[in-house]
């Protein structure tokens, strides 16, 4: 380890790198010992001195500041002198310039003791400066790496947020700079890997490695233990399953193949599959393409009903309409807080946008049957976008859609699964839905404890193979089944002529 020329060029072998103090100093370069304060404390103890490191502005980097000759300090930090020394008033002071990692920046190491500096003390100070500079460079390199990793993570999240609101063009543009070809696809699968919050960073890095940097890997902003993986097809599923098998406590949920614009739908499917994975021995599950209620409805009638229900939103400018629709879809799938985290906006923004949609549709989102109906319309609107072919069917109300024989049979078969339990799960679930998913209000209606309601609803989840306590597609399917089976009243929807939002002009309709 070479020292700088500070006026003491000759050092005996006994005071060189082979001496005990040099070995101790080198020990501070080990991975477990790289700390500036420890080095300064060691130097202070070794020389029985007061030691400090300051930058060129005079601010302390480490160690206590002591009175110094500021002209000499400025000469050292400014580069006119490599080092300086003086004695007086019972003190001996050594100043040596220290190169800081910032561009054109330097600091000064000040060592003050009551005895003069001999050859050994001077050598120790000189070699300590070399160690300090190495540690400072290492710290800056590590900090740069952390900043780069944080920026990359933020960029991945921004791409996901654009996909969630169906802005695939912008998402591709953002991704093109760092991950060329990543989103050059029309389809995508979404996987959600769950682990403990403490292990998430390690698992996220493992997901990047397992997918060979050919997937969008994002630390979920809403759930601390979730890692979201967006891949162009389902080929990464095997690698992610093997990854979860190697990591104790990890679970995997995957979506069906969806268009890239339906990333939000795929994400909801992956979360739903994740709930099933927690009960499986292999800890993995893929969203099952089961019979959904909309597939049992006349597609043209469903399309006409959807268009008619959402028509008040057509009075808005295109970008505003798209923003409200995307936010409401996520807001109906998740809580306002989690939807806000996924979208990168405040929860008040999510609530304000959803309230505006409520006002336009004259719908009450506190009613689960209303939420289920609007969710059905929003889901259908995504599916039929760009596929408006054929002659529109005659206007129909939701009751006519849910009154078809096939749908009634599906609903009755689904809810009949609950009858096999000795407890009245079906009655509890019906009351819980009627109470807007509030266990306390349902308990009052049933005359039982709120915890009993929660236990019954939780027990119904594996029977129905649907997640109920978390809002989302699973819950809304069960709600529609109750309405179709006649267990719940029709939702209060204004399915008549469109109206103009108060305080907003009526611009041209966007088709």
Handedness of CA 307, 311, 315, 318 (dihedral sign): negative
| Cα–Cα distance for residue pair 150/145, rounded to 1 Å | 9
- Residues 73-105: tens digit of each pLDDT: 888 888 888 888 888 878 888 888 888 876 657
How is residue 2 annotated by DSSP? P
Handedness of CA 467, 473, 479, 480 (dihedral sign): negative
Res 225 pLDDT > 80: yes
Tell me, what's the pLDDT at 503?
Answer: 45
Percent of the chain at pLDDT exceeding 90: 26
Tell me, what's the pLDDT at 11?
Answer: 40
- Residues 330-373: tens digit of each pLDDT: 899 888 888 888 888 899 999 999 999 999 999 999 999 999 99
Confidence of residue 447 (pLDDT cuts 50, 70, 90): very high
- Residues 100-132: tens digit of each pLDDT: 876 657 888 889 888 888 888 888 888 888 888
| Cα–Cα distance for residue pair 232/387, rounded to 1 Å | 23
| Cα–Cα distance for residue pair 62/37, rounded to 1 Å | 6
- Transcribe 394-453 into DSSP letters: PP--HHHHHTSHHHHHHHHHHHHGGGGSSS-HHHHHHHHHHTTT-HHHHHHHHTS-HHHH
Arithmetic mean of pLDDT, 187-216: 90
Tell me, what's the pLDDT at 34?
Answer: 63
- Residues 263-310: tens digit of each pLDDT: 988 898 888 888 778 878 888 888 876 667 888 888 888 888 998 899
Res 60 pLDDT > 50: yes
CB 17 within 8 A of CB 62: no
- Residues 22-56: tens digit of each pLDDT: 777 777 777 655 678 888 888 888 888 888 888 88
Res 473 pLDDT > 80: yes
Count, in order, helices (H) and strands (E) of the chain.
Answer: 19, 11
> Within a 10 A sphere around the Cβ of 318, how many other Cβ atoms?
10
| Cα–Cα distance for residue pair 416/399, rounded to 1 Å | 21
Confidence of residue 17 (pLDDT cuts 50, 70, 90): very low
Tell me, what's the pLDDT at 484?
Answer: 92
Among the residue ranges 159-168, 291-300, 441-450, the one predicted with the least confidence is: 291-300
Tell me, what's the pLDDT at 342?
Answer: 84
Tell me, what's the pLDDT at 122?
Answer: 87
Q: What is the mean pLDDT of the chain?
A: 83
Tell me, what's the pLDDT at 312?
Answer: 92
Classify burial at 311, counting beta carbons within 10 Å of its beta carbon; exposed 0-12, middle 13-18, buried 19 or more. Answer: middle
Reduced to 3 states (helix: H, G, I; strand: E, B; else coil), residue 221 is: coil
Tell me, what's the pLDDT at 393?
Answer: 57
- Residues 376-433: tens digit of each pLDDT: 999 888 766 544 445 555 667 888 888 888 889 999 999 999 998 888 999 999 999 9
Classify burial at 3, counting beta carbons within 10 Å of its beta carbon; exposed 0-12, middle 13-18, buried 19 or more. Answer: buried
Tell me, what's the pLDDT at 383?
Answer: 67
| Cα–Cα distance for residue pair 71/54, rounded to 1 Å | 15
Reduced to 3 states (helix: H, G, I; strand: E, B; else coil), residue 51 is: strand
CB 111 within 8 A of CB 94: yes
Confidence of residue 502 (pLDDT cuts 50, 70, 90): very low
Task: Give me the sheet containing 106-113, strands edge to edge.
Answer: 60-62, 50-55, 106-113, 91-99, 83-88
| Cα–Cα distance for residue pair 335/344, rounded to 1 Å | 14
């Amino acid at each position: 380890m070479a020292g700088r020329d500070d006026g003491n060029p000759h050092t005996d072998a006994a005071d060189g790198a082979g001496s005990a103090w040099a070995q101790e100093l080198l020990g501070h370069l080990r991975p477990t010992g790289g700390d500036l304060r420890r080095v300064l404390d060691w130097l202070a103890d070794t020389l029985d001195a007061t030691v400090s490191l300051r930058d060129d502005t005079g601010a302390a980097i480490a160690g206590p500041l002591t009175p110094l000759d500021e002209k000499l300090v400025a000469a050292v930090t400014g580069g006119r002198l490599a080092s300086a020394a003086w004695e007086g008033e019972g003190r001996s002071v050594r100043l040596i310039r220290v190169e800081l990692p910032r561009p054109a920046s330097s600091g000064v190491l000040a060592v003050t003791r009551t005895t003069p500096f001999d050859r050994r003390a001077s050598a120790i100070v000189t070699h300590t400066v070399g160690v300090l500079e190495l540690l400072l460079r290492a710290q800056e390199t590590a900090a740069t790496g952390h900043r780069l990793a944080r920026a990359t993570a933020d960029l991945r999240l921004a791409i996901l947020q654009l996909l969630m609101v169906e802005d695939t063009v912008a998402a591709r543009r953002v991704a093109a700079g760092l991950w060329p070809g990543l989103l050059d696809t029309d389809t995508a699968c979404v996987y959600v890997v769950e682990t403990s919050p403490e292990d998430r960073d390690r698992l996220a890095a493992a997901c990047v490695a397992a997918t060979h940097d050919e997937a969008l890997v994002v630390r979920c902003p809403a759930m601390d233990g979730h890692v979201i993986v967006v891949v162009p097809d389902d080929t990464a599923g095997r690698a992610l399953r093997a990854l979860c098998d190697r990591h104790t406590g990890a679970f995997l949920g995957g979506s069906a193949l969806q268009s890239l614009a339906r990333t939000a739908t795929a994400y909801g499917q992956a979360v739903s599959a994740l709930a099933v994975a927690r009960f499986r021995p292999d800890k993995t599950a893929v969203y099952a393409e089961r019979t959904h209620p909309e597939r049992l409805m006349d597609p043209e009638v469903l399309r006409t009903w959807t268009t008619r229900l959402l028509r008040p939103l057509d009075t808005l400018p295109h970008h505003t309409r798209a923003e409200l629709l995307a936010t409401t879809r996520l807001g109906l799938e998740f809580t306002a807080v989690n939807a806000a985290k996924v979208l990168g906006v405040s929860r008040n923004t999510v609530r304000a946008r959803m309230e505006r949609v409520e006002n336009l549709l004259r719908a009450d989102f506190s009613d689960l049957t209303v939420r289920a109906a609007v969710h059905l319309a929003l889901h259908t609107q995504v599916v039929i976008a760009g596929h408006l072919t054929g002659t529109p069917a005659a206007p129909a109300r939701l009751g006519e859609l849910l009154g078809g024989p096939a749908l009634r049979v599906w609903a009755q078969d689904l809810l009949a699964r609950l009858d096999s339990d000795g407890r009245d799960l079906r009655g509890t679930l019906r009351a819980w839905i009627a109470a807007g998913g509030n266990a306390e209000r349902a308990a009052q209606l049933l005359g039982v404890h709120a915890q009993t309601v929660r236990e019954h609803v939780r027990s119904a989840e594996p029977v129905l193979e649907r997640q109920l306590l978390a809002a989302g597609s699973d819950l809304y399917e069960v709600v529609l089944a109750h309405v179709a089976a006649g267990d719940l009243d029709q939702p209060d929807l204004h399915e008549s002529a469109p109206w103009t939002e108060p305080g907003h002009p009526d611009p041209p309709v966007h088709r």
